[in-house]
Amino acid sequence: MILERAVTKLNNEIQLIGRRTLDKGGYILIIGVVHGDEPQGEFLINNYLQKNVNFPPEFLFIPCLNPDGLANETRTNANGVDINRNFPTDNWVSGEKNRYFGGDAPASETETRFVIDVVEKYAPKLIITLHTPFKIVNFDGEGREISEKIGEIFNYPVEESIGYPTPGSFGTWAGIERQIPIITIEMDEEIPQENLIEPFEKMLTLLH
C-alpha cells in the first residue's frame, strides 16, 4: 500500500510503502537509492515486496528516494544536490557544487523534505539506508548491537561514524541530533545485485 508519495523535479515519484497497522513509534524505515548511482536498494526492496505482499507491519519502505538521480545515473538529484548532505543539521554547509553539494539551503530538496516528513509522521524506532560501495555497516546513534548482527549477515565490518564529519547527512540529522538509530549498509557493487538478495532478506528476518 502506498502511504505517501511526492513528485520530483523530473516528474518521477517517490513512494512510501507500508501497511499502516501500527501505532506511531513502532516502525522500521528502510530506504533505497539515496544516491542515484546506487540502484541496488530499489532492486532489493522491490524484489522483496513482490514476494511478500503481507510483509510485517512494522516495515516501511522507500524503495527509491532519488528517482531523478536514478534516471540520470548520478549521485545527486536533478538539482545537483547530494540528498545525504542536504538535511537541516547543526553542521549543514552548502559546500562546493560537486557531487557532495549540500544545496542552496538545508532541506531545500523535495527528496530531503519527503524523508523528514515521513520520520516526523511515523517516528520510526530504527532507520536502515541502503548504499554502495564500501562493504561496511555504519551507524549513527544507538545502533551498535543490531549493526553487529547485520555486519555478520553481510560479512562486512561495522564502523561507528561519529567523529567523521558528514555535514547535513541523514545519519547526523536522525542518529545524532534526534537519537533515532540509523544504520547505513554500504553494499558491494561489484557482485551481481541478485547475490545481495539473501543477506538483505536475512536482515529483514532478523529485524522482524
**Total binding residues for Zn ion by CB under 5 A?**
3
Q: Would you state the cell numbers that stand for residue 68, as one nine-digit string?
A: 531523478
- In 3D space, the residue among 157, 156, 158 whose CA is nearest the CA of residue 196 turns out to be 156
| Among 115, 131, 169, 187, interactor with Zn ion by CB under 5 A | 131
User: Please, which residue, 35 or 85, has the CB nearer to Zn ion?
Assistant: 35
Write down the least CB distance from residue 34 to Zn ion, Å.
Answer: 6
| Among 8, 29, 35, 82, interactor with Zn ion by CB under 5 A | 35
Longest Cα–Cα distance in the chain: 44
CA distance 49 to 188: 22
Q: Note the Cα 130 to chain centre separation in Å.
A: 5
CA distance 11 to 151: 36
CA distance 72 to 10: 10
User: Please, which residue, 8 or 76, has the CB nearer to Zn ion?
Assistant: 76
Write down the least CB distance from residue 53 to Zn ion, Å.
Answer: 29
Site string for Zn ion, 77-116 (x = CB under 5 A): ----------------------------------------
Q: Please identify every residue annotated as catalytic.
A: 186
Q: State which of positions 138-197 bind Zn ion (CB under 5 A).
A: none
CA distance 90 to 199: 35
Do residues 60 and 27 lie in contact, with contact meaning Cβ atoms separated by under 8 Å? yes
User: Please, which residue, 8 or 166, has the CB nearer to Zn ion?
Assistant: 166
The residue number with the shortest CB distance to Zn ion is 131
Instruction: Candidates 31-39, 41-49, 116-124, 200-208: pick the segment binding Zn ion (CB under 5 A).
Output: 31-39
Q: Would you state the cell numbers that stand for residue 9, as one nine-digit string?
A: 523535479
What residue ranges bind Zn ion (CB under 5 A)?
35, 38, 131
